Chains A and B, each alone.
Chain A
Amino acid sequence: MAVYEHTYKQYLGKLTPEWSRFLVIPRHAFRDVFKSKLFTAFFIVCFVPLLIEAILIYLHHNVNALAILKVDVRELIPIDASFFQTFVNLQASFAFFVTLLVGPPLVARDLRNNALPLYLCRPFSRTEYVLGKMSVLLILLSAITWVPQLLLFLFQSYLEGASWFVENLSLASAIFIGSVVWILLLALLSQAVSALVKWRVIASGALLGVFFIPSVFGEVVNQLFQTRWGSVISLGALMKNVTAGLFGTFVQASTHYTNWDGRVGHEIIVNEPPLWASWFALFVVCCICLALLSRKVKAYEVVR
């Protein structure tokens, strides 16, 4: 079937390994995603906090630089669990906005243009399709979350010494697990929303809604019933608790309410839901997303 031959010809060459074929989807998707200059600019901006984090780590260990800048080392933010947690949370916010830009059209566009039969009539399963679409986000979000964060952890270890590395190994696992759970949740949610809503703009709105409407509702529940259990429907609050748990900064009794009963004020200490509840709620959300994807990602919808 050469261009000049104009005859039908079978392909008799080598084939790629089956396990690697899902990676074809992100490779082609990145070409499309980075065509947008606006997105490319935003993606670069996502690295700015990491640059600041790197500078702060560097300053802690460079006496000459501190002397030039006339900064006392005690005035700098200490490099500890809170330091890394702050930046993990900051990058998580950037990851959310990247998801909002990239995630919604991934499946929606294929559904709208009936492209699924074209994927699934090949030696390519539904699982590989979902994995391929999710890996578009997983790769992009990893690049701005746990990968640079772990590199900075290693940078800090290099400057501080091997003993610091051994003592704070739990921080590395917290960075990795916290970030991976967050980007997995984002990828699953955006794919599920994208599979449900065929139009990009509506899918983006729905994704925003999934994060913010339950948060507002949960906060209303918290205020009305003077509890913190409303947080279990707020994805942001769930992730905050889970990350805090991983970094060892989770405090269960944290919120104080002051109620006015006539002229007498009194303080109530309200407990955050236990960590297992947050993990369980995230697990349920992921299961719902997978069930939705399993229902919607089909070559053809069967009308019974």
Chain B
Amino acid sequence: MALAETVQEHAIARNPADFAPVIDLNDLSVKFGRRPILQNLQGELRGRAIGLLGPNGAGKTTLIHTLLGFHLPSSGTAQIFGQDIRTDAKQIRSLVGYMPERDSYIAKMSAVHFVRLMAELSGLPSEAALERAHEALFYVGLGEARYRSLDTYSLGMKQLAKLAQAIVHGPRLIFLDEPTNGLDPPARQRMIRLVREIRDSGKANIVLSSHLLRDVEECCEEILILKEGRLAVYCNLEEERKSNRKFLLLETRGDQDKFAKAIGGLGCEYAITGDHRVKIVLQGGIEVRDLYRIASEYDVQIRRLSYKRDSLEDIFLKAMENGHGGL
């Protein structure tokens, strides 16, 4: 590779399409020995921030590791910015940054030395690497502590140092594996703010894997829920929120079965979700006053009425119940 080659040139030269999906999963499966870890994952991810959700052992970290080339797919493949993980692993790794879940650092090194070393390994010349290391550490909020040895850092500071090394070379895609693990609330807020800032800069896409639904909800536009190595749900959170705008939750007293059927007669979708709870999706032309009118006809009291949309928790729990499929 010529010295004059830049990351951008490199990426453009290799990109088969200008608007290739960030991640394209093509029937991706991974096995450890005979044990299947990921099974037939399929989908195109294009969001600026993609959330990876799933219970423990669902395969979130294995998916990230496979995309980074740490594990070979047993069948199928995946592409990142149009480059195949089987054949272009090294090119892909020049475009990505990775913040591992576990405590990872090089002992007996100051933060600035550590981040500089990581930048140089990514191909930055020594002087540029030093400059970017200072910038990255200031950016994540470790500017004042950058000459301290990493061994003396608190858990929160180590997480920030890991983030700094993941972004020091200015990657186009950043994998964040449980970035808020073990952080106290202020440190978590800081991490979330940084992730959102990077997302909003539009200069890098983010894949965030987390157990914490709130983290994903606050940062991500798209989510991928894995269950037992399979794709349980893939959805765009923004679209999901919009589509659920007319979702109503009613708390009632009286004969709610008849009431619900009457509403169904108006063409609205409904579901009885508890002893006194009815979920209704209003159709065009139907107003809330129509609900009160029907309630009065059937002598049903509406004690509480609230607009609601499916929260990420609802989506996640539904995915865990259904097993697989879309919403």
Contact = CB atoms under 8 A, between A and B. Distances in A.
A221 B98 CA distance: 53
B204 interface: yes
Interface string A1-25: 1110011111111111110010010
A9 B170 contact: yes
B120 interface: yes
Contacts, number: 152
Contacts of A303: 32
Contact of B123 (A6, A21, A32, A300): A21
Interface stretch (A105-113, A180-188, A204-212, A265-273): A105-113
Given A11-B128, A32-B108, A114 B103 contact: yes
A133 B170 CA distance: 26
A122 B2 CA distance: 18
A294 interface: no
A37 interface: no
A11 B120 CA distance: 12
B70 A8 contact: no
A224 interface: no
Contact of B170 (A10, A24, A299): A10
A2 B135 contact: yes
Given A18-B123, A117-B100, A8 B71 contact: no
B102 A1 contact: no
Contacts of A299: 65, 68, 70
A24 B203 contact: no
Contacts of B170: 1, 8-12
B39 interface: no
A78 B139 CA distance: 66
A3 B121 contact: no
Interface in A122-139: 122-125
B210 to A, nearest CB: 18
Interface residues of B, number: 60
B121 A122 contact: yes
Contact of B121 (A24, A117, A304): A24
Contacts of B68: 120-121, 299
Interface string A140-155: 0000000000000000
Contact of B105 (A115, A120, A121): A115
Provide the main secondary structure of the chain A interface: loop
B138 A3 contact: yes
A118 B7 CA distance: 19
A302 interface: yes
Nearest to B202: A8
B136 A1 contact: yes
A113 B135 contact: no
B121 A124 contact: yes
A7 B198 CA distance: 8
A114 B124 contact: no
A2 B132 CA distance: 8
Contact of B117 (A3, A14, A28): A28
Interface in B88-116: 90-91, 93-94, 96-98, 100, 102-109, 113
A7 B170 CA distance: 11
A119 interface: yes
Contact of B122 (A7, A109, A122): A122
Contacts of B106: 109-110, 113, 115, 118
Contacts of B136: 1
Given A112-B107, A115-B104, A118-B104, A10 B204 contact: yes
B239 interface: no
Contacts of A18: 1, 123
B265 interface: no
Contacts of B165: 118
Contact of B3 (A9, A14, A28, A122): A14
A9 B100 contact: no
B152 interface: no
Contact of A119 (B3, B94, B121): B121
B166 to A, nearest CB: 8
B56 to A, nearest CB: 14
B3 A17 contact: yes
A123 B6 contact: no
A125 B93 CA distance: 10
Given A8-B198, A109-B107, A17 B121 contact: no
Given A18-B1, A109-B106, A8 B167 contact: yes
B227 interface: no
Interface of A: 1-3, 6-18, 21, 24, 28, 31-32, 109-110, 112-115, 117-125, 298-300, 302-304
Interface of B: 1-8, 10, 32-33, 35, 65, 68, 70-71, 90-91, 93-94, 96-98, 100, 102-109, 113, 117-118, 120-125, 128, 132, 134-136, 138-139, 143, 165, 167, 169-172, 197-198, 201, 203-204
A-B interface, 9 closest residue pairs, ranked by CB to CB distance from nearest = A304-B33, A11-B170, A10-B170, A121-B98, A15-B123, A123-B94, A114-B104, A299-B70, A8-B201
12 contacts: A1-B136, A11-B7, A11-B128, A11-B169, A15-B10, A21-B120, A28-B120, A32-B109, A115-B106, A124-B122, A299-B65, A300-B70
Given A12-B7, A14-B125, 10 more contacts: A7-B201, A14-B4, A15-B6, A16-B3, A24-B121, A31-B113, A118-B100, A118-B118, A121-B70, A121-B98
